Structures are given as C-alpha cells and as structure tokens.
C-alpha cells in the first residue's frame, strides 16, 4: 500500500526528492488497488502472432517489432527472441537483423538472441529438425562460430553437454558473457555438473527434451539439488508452466526442490495469439489444437501458445506459492540469470521503471516501460 516514484525512466528513492530537493510529484496516478510488479522477462520465445523467429525473411525486423508490440499486453517488457535448430544460412541471415534495444511505446526491449541448437542430441531433438543438428568437430568453438556467423547479439546458447568438446565451447561462450543453457540432451548428472563447473548456468525447459529423472542417475534434473555446484553459483531452470508441457506435480517437485532457480518461459511459437490450425516452427509445420501444439502428423510437442501472464497464473495455482514468488519467477529470476538484476526484474530504487499493474487474479491491467504507459486494458476489457 505504498507509492512508487518514477523519474526519467528509473524508479526513484523518494527521500532524495523530499529531503534533498524539497520536490513533489508532477503527475499522480491512482492505481486503484492494483498490484505493482516488475515487468516480465521472457528468455525463450520462438515467435508469435504469425511471426517465426527461425524463418529468414527480408522483413525480419518488422516481425520482431510486431511480436514486441503484442507481448506488452501479456506483461512482457523484455525478451530474448529464440531460434530453434536451423541451417547455418538462417543464422547468417537472421542474427545480423536482431539488435539489442530498449523497450518503449514501440514494444518490449530485446535483450539478445537465444540460440536453441543445433548442437543438441539427436535422441532428444523434440521439435528440432534432425537434418540440421550438428556436433563439435575438430574446431569446436570455431565450428560454432562458423554455424552462427556472429555472436554479437547472442545472449543464450542451448547445447547438449554430453557432446564431445562441449566443455571448451561452454568456457569460450561464458568468457564472452553468453549464458550457456543445457537442454535437448541425454546427459547424465556428472556430465551436467561438469558443464556447470565450466560455466553453464541454465537448464532449457526442465523435464522436456531430457532424460527423465531416475533415482540412480537423475540426469540434468539432478542439478536442482546437486552438491557439486561451485560456491556462490546458482543454476536456473526454465519451465513452460502451461499445464501441458509439465504435469502440475512435476512443477511442484521442481519448485520445492529449488525455488530460487525457477524461471518461467513461454517457449511460444508463431501460432501464439492465432487461431488453431497449421503454423510453422523453423523448418517444421506444427498443428495447434487448443493449447496443444504438435509437429504436424505426430504427437511431438513443439513449443507452446501460452502467454507469459497465463504461465504466471498457472504456476501460482499449481504450486500454491505466494503471489510474490509467482511474479519473481517471471521477472527477478530471469534478470538474475542474465546478470541484469541491477536494472531489471525488481522495483528497487535506480532500476528501470519497467512495471505492471495487475489485479488480484494476476491479470495484467497496464504495462509500463521506463515509466511510460505502453499498454492498458481498456474499459471494455478488450
């Protein structure tokens, strides 16, 4: 039941204003009992509204613009456009068109690309096209550079840690400030622990596209309670909390085992926000049936059509956690994962004024970026 003070795009410590400057607010806004929360950060989103980030097009930028505009209504104020496994030509064409930028009235901020693949396991490829998968050959890191073309705008790379020579690749990426995520993998626990010791900090959609938990070798899932994590390090893990990708019981198990590492991701595909039917995900055709998305003609799940605010509500309902905990999984934790928690993901003084107004049911009422209102639910509830 407090005030939030904002000036020049930042959250302000009002003591400065009152005592040092003897000032007062220029504009006052009655938030009518809303919850004010940090803006959501989606570190894994493959597209939406008919736009597929893994398709190389000449007007790729307008696709990014459309998605960043539309996800404001889901409470997302920054995101990592995600590319699934693709041929090198696609990375070479698409990556130069992604630029890191602040959010604003034009849409959510772009934090950099998340490259999910192609250095992943054939057994756990999920919806990724097998003919595009690659391994690290003699050059290891050079192979990765040749595949992607450039790492200038890359923020996260998902790879399978059991691949030969992955350790040196993880070290090289980490050195460059790129977050390494483990996923689409058949790694056992000791391979996963070794990857973390070399710098990996994230797990791509926990439980999906990895070996199931086994009591004698819990695999990547075992990182949640591993005692081999270097001191002062935290392993984060993404979860698609849409009620389809993970049974609510599995969501509860993960959350209770390691609550501070949980990062909600949508893993949304081009069909998010569109009618059921056929859409694309990179090189594949996918079929949307309700909230289920399958590779056409199969029962292989391929991304989701859930929105971030839906994931937050489902997570809170499934785990019975506090509202604060649910909101932090979509804001504070992804910011900590990317090392930007001094700017985003909190309502601390001096951080970016990216915040939401939500009602008690956690439905987004308004979205603000740098203190400016960029989206509001109109009176008709449209």
User: Which position has the token pair 């990182």?
Assistant: 223
Question: What pLDDT score does 350 carry?
Answer: 97
Residue 330 has pLDDT above 90, yes or no: yes
Confidence at 46, pLDDT banded by 50, 70, 90:
very high
| SS3 (DSSP) at 19 | helix
Confidence at 241, pLDDT banded by 50, 70, 90:
very high
| 267 in catalytic set | yes
Residue spans of the domains in the chain: they are 40-351
According to CATH, the superfamily of the domain at 40-351 is Metal-dependent hydrolases (3.20.20.140)
Residues 272/305, Cβ–Cβ less than 8 Å: yes
| DSSP β-ladder status, 364-369 and 292-295 | unpaired
Residues β-bridged to residue 287: 278, 294
> pLDDT digit string (tens) for 78-104?
999 999 999 999 999 999 999 999 999
Residue 277 neighbours by CB distance under 10 Å: 10
Binding site feature residues for Zn(2+): 116, 184, 205
Cα 224 to Cα 187, 189, 238, distances in angstroms: 14, 10, 12
Question: What pLDDT score does 138 carry?
Answer: 86
Report how far apart the first and last C-alpha atoms of the chain are (Å, whole number): 28
**What percentage of the chain has pLDDT greater than the value 70?**
99
> pLDDT digit string (tens) for 130-175?
999 999 988 899 999 999 999 999 999 999 999 999 999 999 999 9
Query: Which residues in 54-102 belong to E strands, given as ranges?
Result: 76-84
> pLDDT digit string (tens) for 311-323?
999 999 999 999 9
Residue of 52, 242, 267, 352 with catalytic role: 267
Question: What pLDDT score does 16 carry?
Answer: 83
Residues 176/151, Cβ–Cβ less than 8 Å: yes
The stretches of the chain forming alpha helices (DSSP H) are 14-15, 60-70, 88-94, 141-148, 166-175, 189-197, 248-257, 308-319, 323-330, 332-337
Binding site feature residues for substrate: 127, 208-209, 216, 245, 301-303
Residues 368/104, Cβ–Cβ less than 8 Å: no
Spatial separation of the C-alpha atoms in residues 8 and 101, rounded to whole Å: 17
Confidence at 382, pLDDT banded by 50, 70, 90:
very low
User: pTM of the predicted model, to two decimals?
Assistant: 0.97
Binding site feature residues: 116, 127, 184, 205, 208-209, 216, 245, 301-303
> pLDDT digit string (tens) for 5-32?
999 999 999 988 888 888 888 999 999 9
Spatial separation of the C-alpha atoms in residues 189 and 283, rounded to whole Å: 31
């Amino acid at each position: 039941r407090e005030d939030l003070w904002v000036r020049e795009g930042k959250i302000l410590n009002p003591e400065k204003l009152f005592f040092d400057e003897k000032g007062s607010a220029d504009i006052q806004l009655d938030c009518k009992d809303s919850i004010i929360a940090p803006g959501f950060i989606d570190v894994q989103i493959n597209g939406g509204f008919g736009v597929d980030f893994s398709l190389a097009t000449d007007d790729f930028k307008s696709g990014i613009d459309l998605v960043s505009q539309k996800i404001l209504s889901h409470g997302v104020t920054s995101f990592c456009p995600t590319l699934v496994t693709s041929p090198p030509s696609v990375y070479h064409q698409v990556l130069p068109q992604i630029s890191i930028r602040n959010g604003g009235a034009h849409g959510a901020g772009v934090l950099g690309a998340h490259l999910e693949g192609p250095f992943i396991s054939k057994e756990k490829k999920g919806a990724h096209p097998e003919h595009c998968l690659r391994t690290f050959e003699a050059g290891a890191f050079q192979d990765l550079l040749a595949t992607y073309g450039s790492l200038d705008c890359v923020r996260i790379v998902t790879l399978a840690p059991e691949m030969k020579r992955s350790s040196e690749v993880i070290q090289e990426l980490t050195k460059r400030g790129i977050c390494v995520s483990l996923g689409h993998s058949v790694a056992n626990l000791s391979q996963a622990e070794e990857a973390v010791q070399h710098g990996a900090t994230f797990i791509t959609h926990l439980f999906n596209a990895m070996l199931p938990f086994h009591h004698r070798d819990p695999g990547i899932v075992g990182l949640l309670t591993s005692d081999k994590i270097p001191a002062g390090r935290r392993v984060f893990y993404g979860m698609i909390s849409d009620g389809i990708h993970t049974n609510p019981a599995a969501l509860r198990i993960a959350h209770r085992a390691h609550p501070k590492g949980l990062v909600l991701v949508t893993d949304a595909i081009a069909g998010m926000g569109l009618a059921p039917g056929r859409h694309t995900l990179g090189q594949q055709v996918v079929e949307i049936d309700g909230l289920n998305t399958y590779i056409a003609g199969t029962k292989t799940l391929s991304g989701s059509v859930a929105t971030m605010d839906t994931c937050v509500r489902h997570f809170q309902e499934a785990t019975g956690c506090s509202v604060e905990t649910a909101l932090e999984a979509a804001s504070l934790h992804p910011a900590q994962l990317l090392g930007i928690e001094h700017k985003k993901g909190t309502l601390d003084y001096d951080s970016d004024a990216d915040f939401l107004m939500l009602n008690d049911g956690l439905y987004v009422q308004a979205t603000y970026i740098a203190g400016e209102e960029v989206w509001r639910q109109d009176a008709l509830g449209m």
